[in-house]
Amino acid sequence: MTHKILAVDDSRTIRAMLKTVLVNAGFRVDLAEDGIDGLEKLDAAAPDLVITDINMPRLDGFGFIEGARARSRHAAVPILVLTTESGPDLKQRARDAGATGWIVKPFDEAKLISVINRLVI
């Protein structure tokens, strides 16, 4: 069974890139446009892993992660933060929100896939 990944990003380009990269790597991919959209799609998508941007309209990545963790069904799903921000502050804030790991844009395909493979069962 191939793993499903929900990718949440407000940029169409990043969504398309993620979709291509992930599908090529053999994953099934669902896309969401922002935090609210992401939370709405969580149940239907039932992803094995979530990738989320931080800066998004309506609901940002931190809010999305907190919302996801609050739903018992998704409390343990690995969530990767994908963002252009870096620095120790991001790491701490992401972790406080409940993120599993973080990747800094522009992302390296190989690194992304190897991190994902490490986190999905």
Q: Helix (H, G, I), strand (E, B), or coil: what is residue 28?
A: strand
How many whole angstroms separate alpha carbon 68 and alpha carbon 89?
21
Choice from 15, 27, 101, 107 touching another protein (CB under 8 A): 101
Contact status: 16 vs another protein (CB under 8 A): no
Choice from 12, 16, 24, 84 touching another protein (CB under 8 A): 24
In 3D, which of 41, 69, 64 has the Cα closest to residue 53? 64
Choice from 69, 85, 104, 105 touching another protein (CB under 8 A): 69
Chain-centroid distance, C-alpha 22? 12
Binding site for another protein (CB under 8 A): 24-25, 69, 75-79, 95, 98-102, 109-110, 113, 118-121
